[in-house]
Structure formats: C-alpha cells, structure tokens
Structure 1
Amino acid sequence: MASSTSPTIIREAVEVDIPLIYDFIHELATYEKLAHEHVGTHDDLRDTLFENKYAHVIIASVDGQDVGFALYFFNYSTFLSRPGLYLEDLYVRPTVRGRGVGTTLMKHLANLALAKGCGRMEWSAINWNTPAINFYVGKTVGATCMKEWDIYRLQGDSLDRFVQQE
C-alpha cells in the first residue's frame, strides 16, 4: 500500500463518504471489542453529520486510499470561557499505523482548534489501549491524562428512567 514517504492528505468528509465513515466506525468498535455497541446506521450518520451537523468528520488518505478518520465536535469550557474541540473517534487502519497518519489527523484538529479560538482539545481512550495511550501522552502528541476526572453516562434505559422519574 503506502510507502513511508507518501504524504497523508486530509479532507472534510462529504455525504457520499457515509459508507466509509460507517466502516471506519465499525472497524474501530471491533478493535475496541465493542462491535456489539455499534448500532448506528447510515441514515443515522446522514442525519447527525450532514443534515443536523452535530459533529464533523475528516478523512485521511495515503496514495489515494482512504486509511483513517477523525470525528469531532465543539464543546465549551466555562472555566476558560472558550470553546473546546472534542475528539470523539480517531482511527487509522492497521496497514498504515506508525506512518504518521494519526499524527497528521491530530495536527489538523489542533490547528483547527487554534483557528477557532479553542482553549483546549480533549478526548478519551479506552484504558487497555496502550498503543493509543502511548501515542497521546508520548513525545508525538504530548497530551496530559486527566486522572482526576471520571466520565459519567446516561444511555438507553437509564436515560429514559431518569427522565420519567418524579
């Protein structure tokens, strides 16, 4: 496939990329041993990414082959009184890992965050994914793990139950 000297090209996803985005999400979910939780559809992606624009996607390609993606959205920091960029998913196909594709995706998003006046860029990583964690906190990206924060979630039945309780 790609040689180590081939440049990574980043582009904004368009609606015809929905099957590709879906496949990237499924590959990521499978890698994270969470394929059973990947229940979204092509129509869901069309509605949330292109009609209502709740999130944005960039696609990475090398030698004309689409090899990775990042899905992100903007949030807000009350402490900083500035927007932030939240990276929901970053995925690079195994055949091109270690060739700078992930770094190029992250730099693109970091540049976007700065251009939009964001005070920070955040994401989470599944705690057993050592290669991803090493990439994020190592010399390449240099992020800080926020160990003092826990993530809480209402989803499905728990969300319904909370709304319905008196």
Structure 2
Amino acid sequence: MIRRATAADVPAIHAMVRELADYEKALDEANATEEQLREALFGELPAAYAHVAVADEDGEVVGFALWFLNFSTWRGVHGVYLEDLYVRPERRGGGHGKALLAELARICVERGYGRLEWSVLDWNAPSIAFYESLGARPQDGWTVYRLTDGALAGLGGR
C-alpha cells in the first residue's frame, strides 16, 4: 500500500534516509535531523512531500519517496523532482519501489505536470536497470553542479 506520509512516519523516513546515505557511501554527509524533516514535510510552509510504502502484512513502513516541485520554463508547467526513493533491502522485489514511482507519475498526470525526474549514481546498476525497465531514460549531455558549505557561503557573501 502506498499513502501520503504523516508526521508519525518521520522517524521511519529519517532512519531510511540514513540507510540510503550509508548505501550511497555518504553517511557522514547525512546530517538532517528528524525535526528538520518534520518541518520540511509538515511545517507551516512545506517545501517537500513524501509518500510511504507500507507492508500489507504488518503495516510497517518499508520504503519512501521524498519529492518536491520543480518548474520547466520550456514546458511552462511544474514537474516533480524525486529527491530520494528507497525501499529497505529485505523488502525489495515486492513492487514497493514501482508502486511509489507509479503514485508520483499518477500525481504528475492528474495535475498536468510535465516531468518526473531524479538522479541516480552512475555506479548503481541495479537501480539504473530498474528505472530503465519502467521506461525512464538517462539525460545525456547534462552534468549536475552543486555549491555547498564554504563555496556556497563564499558566493552568498558570508
């Protein structure tokens, strides 16, 4: 079962964010707190949204998709950027990841959004194969750039 996340799901989502960061060999970079996630998802001005996959047999939250809106100046409409998609390893293969993506695709179609997009590490062959099996295609010719920490502060004048 897929449903919108609630504030009560934040501890499980936070734990899975840390599991994902560990899998991506970047646990030391995952500094977000439960409080920060709660505020981003359920605060006065939510900046992000989440859906969870819940196991039918025991109601355990076994996966999540955390996303936010972006905007295409070329298409003139919003899209969804999927920040994180994660299903606990012992629950993979049960259709949870596909169901989470299908829910986000449904939201896009229902609301007239033009894109559902995300990034994947180039070494993550299982995820790449999974995404391509759904019809997703890599966007060749684009490179992601990022400013953080000192470089961000320097450019921002601090």
Range of TM-score over shorter length: over 0.9
Who is 1:29 aligned against?
21
Indicate whether 1:76 and 2:109 are aligned: no
Aligned pair partner of 2:9 in 8, 13, 17: 17
- The number of aligned residues is 155
- Which segments of 5 or more consecutive residues in structure 1 lack a partner in the other structure? 1-8
Indicate which of 80, 92, 97 corresponds to 1:97. 92
Task: In structure 2, list runs of 5 or more residues that go unmatched.
Answer: none
Partner-residue secondary structure (3-state), 2:22: helix
**Other-structure match for 1:39:** 31
1:162 is matched with 155
Q: Deviations over 1:112-163 (max 9, x none)?
A: 111111111100001111000000112xx11110021111111111110011
Match of 1:61 among 54, 65, 69: 54
4+ residue runs of structure 1 moved beyond 3 angstroms?
A: none
What is the TM-score with the length of structure 2 in the denominator?
0.95
RMSD of aligned residue pairs (Cα, Å): 1.1
Quick one: percent identity of the two aligned structures?
A: 43
1:144 corresponds in structure 2 to: 137
Describe the SS at the equivalent of 1:70. Answer: strand
